[in-house]
C-alpha cells in the first residue's frame, strides 16, 4: 500500500460516536483511536460511554475534547504524539513504520526525543531515540520516503490530530 492510497478522509475527527452514533456536544470529552482497517489508518472516535469499546489492536488511542467554538488554529498535542510514537514500538507493517519515522523526526525537532545511537543496516539508517526523562531507547528505521510521501504523511498527521479545524 502506498501513502497516496491512504483514506485521508477517515482520519478526521468525527462529529458522532462510531459505536452509538451519538453526536459530540461542543466541549465534550471523547476517546479517539487510530486503527488499521483493510491496510489503511482509520480514526475512530467514541463517546465516553462507548470508550471501553476501543479495539485492543488500536495503533494508539487518547482522550480528546470537542472544540467549544471555531476560532483560530489548532495546536498539535505533542504529548499525544509522543504516546503514539511509543505505542507504535514493535509494529512492523509498512504504514506504521512510515508514520513512526515522521513522528520521530517531528518529536526530535521539538526536542522531546533525542538521538542516543545511529547505524546503517542494509542501506537504511536506523536511529535509536530516547524520550526526555525516559531511559528506554526506541529504534526507528528510515523508510526511504520521497518528498511527496513525507508531505502526504504530514497531511495525515494533521487530519489525525484534527489540525485542519479552527478552534479557540
Phi, psi of 3 (to 5 degrees): -60, -35
Distance CA 92, CA 99 (A): 11
Residues 93-126: tens digit of each pLDDT: 888 888 888 889 889 988 999 999 999 998 889 9
Say what the pLDDT of residue 77 is: 72
Distance CA 58, CA 56 (A): 6
Res. 164: pLDDT tops 70: no
3-state secondary structure of 51: helix
Report the range out of 7-11, 48-52, 53-57, 144-148 with the highest average pLDDT. 48-52
User: pTM, whole model, 2 decimals?
Assistant: 0.57
Mean pLDDT of all residues in the chain? 80
Residues 44-90: tens digit of each pLDDT: 999 999 999 888 888 888 888 887 765 655 566 788 788 888 988 98
Say what the pLDDT of residue 165 is: 45
Distance CA 162, CA 97 (A): 21
Say what the pLDDT of residue 160 is: 66
Amino acid at each position: 500500500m502506498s501513502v497516496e492510497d491512504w483514506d485521508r478522509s477517515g482520519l478526521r475527527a468525527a462529529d458522532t460516536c462510531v459505536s452509538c452514533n451519538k453526536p459530540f456536544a461542543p466541549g465534550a470529552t471523547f476517546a479517539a483511536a487510530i486503527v488499521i482497517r483493510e491496510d489503511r489508518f482509520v480514526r475512530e472516535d467514541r463517546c465516553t460511554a462507548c470508550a471501553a469499546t476501543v479495539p485492543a489492536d488500536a495503533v494508539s488511542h487518547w482522550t480528546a475534547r470537542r472544540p467549544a467554538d471555531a476560532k483560530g488554529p489548532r495546536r498539535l498535542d505533542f504529548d499525544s504524539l509522543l504516546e503514539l510514537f511509543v505505542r507504535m514500538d514493535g509494529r512492523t507493517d509498512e504504514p506504521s513504520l512510515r508514520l513512526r519515522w515522521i513522528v520521530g523526526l517531528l518529536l526530535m525537532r521539538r526536542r522531546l526525543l533525542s538521538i542516543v545511537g545511529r547505524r546503517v543496516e542494509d542501506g537504511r539508517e536506523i536511529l535509536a531515540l530516547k524520550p526526555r526523562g525516559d531511559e528506554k531507547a526506541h529504534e526507528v528505521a528510515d523508510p526511504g520516503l520521497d518528498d511527496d510521501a513525507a508531505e502526504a504523511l504530514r497531511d495525515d498527521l494533521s487530519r489525525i490530530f484534527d489540525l485542519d479545524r479552527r478552534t479557540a
